[in-house]
Structure 1
Amino acid sequence: MSKVKLTDYVVEFLQKKGIHDFFGYQGTMIAHLVDSIEKNPHARSHSSYHEQGAAFAACGYAQAKNACGCAYATSGPGAANLLSGVADAYFDSLPVIFITGQLNTYEYSGITGLRQQGFQEIDMVSMAKPVTKYAVQVRDPKNIVRELNLAWQIANTGRKGPVLIDLPMNVQRGEVEDPVYDMEFSEEEIETAVYGKNDPENGAAFYRDAVAKADSSDGAEAAEYILNKIRTAKRPVFMIGHGASGEAEKMLTDLARAHHIPVITSVLARSALSFDDPLNFGCIGGAYGHRYANMIANAKSDLLLCFGISLCTRQIGTKVHEFAKNAEIIRVDIDPYNLQREIHEGREGEKCFCVSAETVVRKLTEQQAQIGSYEEWLAVCQKIRKELWKVDDETPQRYPNRMIAYLSDQLSDTGAVAVDVGQHMVWSYQSFHNQQGQKTLFSGGHGAMGYALPAAIGAYYATGKPVACICGDGAFQMNIQELQWVKRENIPVKMIVMNNEALGMIRHLQRDYFDCVYADTSDGSGFSSCDFTDVAQAYGIPAKRIQGEDVEKYAGGFLEQNGPELLEIMLEHGTYAYPKTCLGEPIHNQQPYIPKPIFDELMEL
């Protein structure tokens, strides 16, 4: 009977699963885990300077590698600081193992209603449950083998997502007898653990009821239905979301290429195709999507084949029942609750299949001889894209988009580019020239400012390649302390700070809806930004500040250097994100409005 220290087992388990880089911040109640990471020759610990940075690094790692990541923190404030990153992983379906330290079990008083059981004690399991697939405190070393194997399987199967394991300090230093690294659990056990977190008796049953509300959960049936519909369609479109990442995404793009079918993605799935791929027709977006994506999906297609894409209001606009009224919509999603979003009123012309995208796409690939070719329809889409590109290129307010396009060409050798939240996020997903295989990373559902710098750090350890991040001045300050992490480990990250000395997205909102009262968004009105070049140089990182009009003159030469660099680009306060759908308008009729002759011509195609 072999015995091993519990934290040694945890680290060995995770490194056997492919996790060699751990992100976190040291503390008394997590010290045993960190010691075990240090002693394992196949594991490396990377210390952030705020636990939120570690959590976002684990998210960026999971996104860039399309694999599981891990972050840790000590008890109390350290563990609580992870939560924004935990939520980011939950909403964007990222498999991340979060491990938190905790008070010794013998320090718990057993007094019901006692506000705190001891110094830095906090009920992390209760706090994390709403934003994890599974959260558990292991109070007996005998339970760690089952709980760790179960947590791993939960994080990495179904709709992927984060799990949290809370380890009291005396449990961490306990022993594990006969460690097991590949325990398997039944579908029923997984459902009970995941969906019983709030209702142990009925949660799994409610989930199965939700699955039953879909038209079918049979992959073969879904594939057969799609094949029947695509045979009669004249204008099919593949809509790909993050739920179809990995092998499903590759098979879908291969199918699209073989049969000349246009592809539209969500923002999170933006990397499915390179920016210049003939099949790439941009990101759908209720407010800021590509003009041509919105027009093709909303007004021109007769069949939308949706794989792992939520079709939430952020994607299709607030007038949900108005979306793609002349198209049949077929939705494939492993999450039954996503499928309960009713797009067509009464589900007229809408079919929902609760099954993994990969299962369905694999069957479609096997039977693709039944799928025709759509060169004429593809040519129509290409004309729409060309004309609407031209409209946007002639919009003066979109000069930041042109900067992003230029900068992206200077960053073409990076393995991943993490983009923060704000106007620069819109400019980036609209205009960044991503290369084939180059990942663009976003905080999608959670929309967390401060995400990009630590996510880029995590992406570096996932890819082993130089990386970049694009931030606004508001977002970069959120986790600016991680510059020391960059300096300490000499991480080759190119940091682009688009500095308009304002919270531009909210400032735009205040202009349109708050009579130009720029409260807490502009210099002199409760907000200001630092000189990021001075700050970076204080950390010992090469940095340069340039004016927006000088980007093409100076940026390229500066970014050619090796190692970490920060480029600060000064913009006017009044920057805007366009095109933008005005409230209540169809999503294919965005501001600034398309000239009427062009609009009418494209709608007639």
Structure 2
Amino acid sequence: MSKVKLTDYVVEFLQKKGIHDFFGYQGTMIAHLVDSIEKNPHARSHSSYHEQGAAFAACGYAQAKNACGCAYATSGPGAANLLSGVADAYFDSLPVIFITGQLNTYEYSGITGLRQQGFQEINMVSMAKPVTKYAVQVRDPKNIVRELNLAWQIANTGRKGPVLIDLPMNVQRGEVEDPAYDMEFSEEEIETAVYGKNDPENGAAFYRDAVAKADSSDGAEAAEYILDKIRTAKRPVFMIGHGASGEAEKMLTDLARAHHIPVITSVLARSALSFDDPLNFGCIGGAYGHRYANMIANVKSDLLLCFGISLCTRQIGTKVHEFAKNAEIIRVDIDPYNLQREIHEGREGEKCFCVSAETVVRKLTEQQAQIGSYEEWLAVCQKIRKELWKVDDETPQRYPNRMIAYLSDQLSDTGAVAVDVGQHMVWSYQSFHNQQGQKTLFSGGHGAMGYALPAAIGAYYATGKPVACICGDGAFQMNIQELQWVKRENIPVKMIVMNNEALGMIRHLQRDYFDCVYADTSDGSGFSSCDFTDVAQAYGIPAKRIQGEDVEKYAGGFLEQNGPELLEIMLEHGTYAYPKTCLGEPIHNQQPYIPKPIFDELMEL
């Protein structure tokens, strides 16, 4: 029998699966794993300066590569600091293996109710379970082969997501006999591991019942139903979400191109098409979506074909039953619980299929001769886009959008652009000119400030190309310490900090709903920002501060330099994100309102 040190096996296993970059922070209880990474010639460890940075880097890596990432941390506070990144991976369906160190098993007292078993011990499995597909502590070295293979399969199949393996220190230094790298588990074994025992009220049986309530199939039935509906439709639209990433996304956009079908995406799926693709009709958004996306989906289409998109209230507005009332909605999603969201009241004119988007789209591609061509409908959508684009371009408050559009042209050669959370996120998904193949990365469901800088670092190791991140002054301060990581590894990341010296999105809310009391959001009212240029230069990174009106004069030349750079753009305090749906309004009638003659004309098309 062959024997290998347990942590050597873990690293070798992940390396064989294609993971060569590991993100984390060293500590006593994870030192054996880090040592094994160091000694493996095909593995590289990248140390962050806060474990949250390591977790977000693994998320950015997984997003940019459309593949599994890995992050690690020591026990106690180190492991707990990973959790925001774990949650980000969970809500955005990112396959990431999280590995945490833990107290030696022989130090556990066995005393029920004892608050802590030893120094820096924390029940990480219990803490992580709500935001992982699978979380387990390995207490015996002989169990690692099964648990690691099982965790890998769980993370990378079905609706993808994070798993966490908690490794006590004495287990890490144990030995593995006959290591295996490609064990296969049945669908039933996976479901039982993920959802628990076959408890009819809370477990695998409950999950299977949820699948049955949708319409589980091999994709053929779903494809036939879609083909039948599309034959009679006059105005079909493909709506693509992150659940249709990878091959499904490519096949869908190819289908759309062949048959002149408009495409609308979620924010996370924004880079499915380049910004200037004739079929790209923007991001759906209940509050800040593209005007033309909202109008086309909500009131102009008669058939919405939704692939891997949640249709949550953030996308379609809080008045869910008012969305696309005159359109038939067909939803394809691998998550049966997501399909339990009822869009049309009583499911009237709504059909759900619990099956992977790729399976269905492959069937549609095979039978696409049955799909007609929709040039006239596409021309209507193009007119709507042209008119509403002009309305927005003439809105003075949207000058930050024009800055983003200019800056995006200067960043066109970057492999990925990570965008943080705040007003700049809205400006970016509305106006960034992404090129074909250029990834735009967001923290979607979790909406975590501090995401962009470490995510961009992870994206660099995923793509091997220069990257960029776009942040606000509030978001950038969340993980500003990772500037040392950028400097240490000379990572070619262009950092754009849009500094309005405020938490602009909350400030906008306070203006509208809190009588302009800007508590903890503005300079002099409990919030302030540093000079980011001075901070970056202190880390040894070239940096420049410019005024917003000087972007086109100075930004281009500065961003042409090699290596990491930080560009700080000073904005006025009272910046706003538009268009915005006012509370209670239909999502196709956003503020500032469309001039009535234009609105009436477009509604008649």
- Partners of 1:599 and 1:121 lie apart in 2 by 61
CA contact (8 A) 2:109 2:117 kept: yes
1:196 CA drift (Å)? 1.1
- What TM-score do the two structures reach when normalised by structure 2? 0.99
CA contact (8 A) 2:200 2:206 kept: no
1:216 CA drift (Å)? 3.9
Q: 1:107 to 1:314 in 2, by over 3 A?
A: same
* C-alpha distance after superposition, 1:555-597 (max 9, x if no partner): 0000000000000000000000000000000000000000000
CA contact (8 A) 1:231 1:371 kept: yes
* C-alpha distance after superposition, 1:36-70 (max 9, x if no partner): 00000000000000000000000000000000000
CA contact (8 A) 2:105 2:170 kept: yes
Q: Secondary structure at the match of 1:479?
A: helix
Give every structure 1 segment of 4 or more consecutive aligned residues whose post-TM-superposition deviation is greater than 2 Å.
197-202, 215-218
* C-alpha distance after superposition, 1:295-319 (max 9, x if no partner): 0000000000000000000000000
Q: 1:233 to 1:467 in 2, by over 3 A?
A: same
Q: Secondary structure at the match of 1:332?
A: strand
1:199 CA drift (Å)? 6.4
1:340 CA drift (Å)? 0.3
1:202 CA drift (Å)? 4.3
CA contact (8 A) 2:218 2:359 kept: no
Q: 1:119 to 1:16 in 2, by over 3 A?
A: same
* C-alpha distance after superposition, 1:433-470 (max 9, x if no partner): 00000000000000000000000000000000000000
* C-alpha distance after superposition, 1:87-128 (max 9, x if no partner): 000000000000000000000000000000000000000000
Q: Secondary structure at the match of 2:113?
A: coil
Q: 1:198 to 1:130 in 2, by over 3 A?
A: farther
Q: Which runs of 5+ in 1 are unaligned?
A: none
CA contact (8 A) 2:404 2:431 kept: yes
CA contact (8 A) 1:497 1:566 kept: yes
- What TM-score do the two structures reach when normalised by structure 1? 0.99
- Partners of 1:175 and 1:200 lie apart in 2 by 39
- Partners of 2:302 and 2:115 lie apart in 1 by 59
CA contact (8 A) 1:90 1:161 kept: yes
Q: Secondary structure at the match of 1:456?
A: helix
- Partners of 2:433 and 2:495 lie apart in 1 by 17
Q: Secondary structure at the match of 1:146?
A: helix
Sequence identity percentage:
99
- Partners of 2:430 and 2:223 lie apart in 1 by 32
CA contact (8 A) 1:192 1:200 kept: no
- Partners of 1:489 and 1:552 lie apart in 2 by 30
Q: 1:94 to 1:554 in 2, by over 3 A?
A: same
- Partners of 1:19 and 1:224 lie apart in 2 by 39
- Partners of 2:314 and 2:537 lie apart in 1 by 38
1:215 CA drift (Å)? 3.3
2:512 corresponds to which residue? 512
- Partners of 1:199 and 1:242 lie apart in 2 by 31
- How many residue pairs match? The answer is 605
CA contact (8 A) 2:51 2:78 kept: yes
* C-alpha distance after superposition, 1:257-294 (max 9, x if no partner): 00000000000000000000000000000000000000
2:231 corresponds to which residue? 231
- Partners of 1:199 and 1:117 lie apart in 2 by 31
1:197 CA drift (Å)? 8.0
Q: 1:200 to 1:67 in 2, by over 3 A?
A: farther
- Partners of 1:203 and 1:529 lie apart in 2 by 48
CA contact (8 A) 2:420 2:475 kept: yes
2:472 corresponds to which residue? 472
- Partners of 1:465 and 1:524 lie apart in 2 by 41
CA contact (8 A) 1:416 1:468 kept: yes
CA contact (8 A) 1:223 1:360 kept: yes
CA contact (8 A) 1:196 1:204 kept: yes
- Partners of 1:291 and 1:218 lie apart in 2 by 36
- Partners of 1:455 and 1:202 lie apart in 2 by 35
CA contact (8 A) 1:211 1:217 kept: no
Q: 1:198 to 1:33 in 2, by over 3 A?
A: farther
1:83 CA drift (Å)? 0.1
1:131 CA drift (Å)? 0.1
CA contact (8 A) 1:134 1:197 kept: no
* C-alpha distance after superposition, 1:124-157 (max 9, x if no partner): 0000000000000000000000000000000000
CA contact (8 A) 2:199 2:205 kept: no
1:404 CA drift (Å)? 0.1
* C-alpha distance after superposition, 1:209-247 (max 9, x if no partner): 100111343410000000000000000000000000000
CA contact (8 A) 2:273 2:280 kept: yes
CA contact (8 A) 1:129 1:197 kept: no
- Partners of 2:286 and 2:313 lie apart in 1 by 6
* C-alpha distance after superposition, 1:69-95 (max 9, x if no partner): 000000000000000000000000000
CA contact (8 A) 2:472 2:498 kept: yes
- Partners of 1:558 and 1:461 lie apart in 2 by 24
Q: 1:25 to 1:198 in 2, by over 3 A?
A: farther
Q: 1:197 to 1:290 in 2, by over 3 A?
A: farther
- Partners of 2:22 and 2:414 lie apart in 1 by 22
* C-alpha distance after superposition, 1:187-219 (max 9, x if no partner): 000000111189699400110010011134341
- Partners of 1:77 and 1:362 lie apart in 2 by 46
1:41 corresponds to which residue? 41
Q: Secondary structure at the match of 2:477?
A: helix
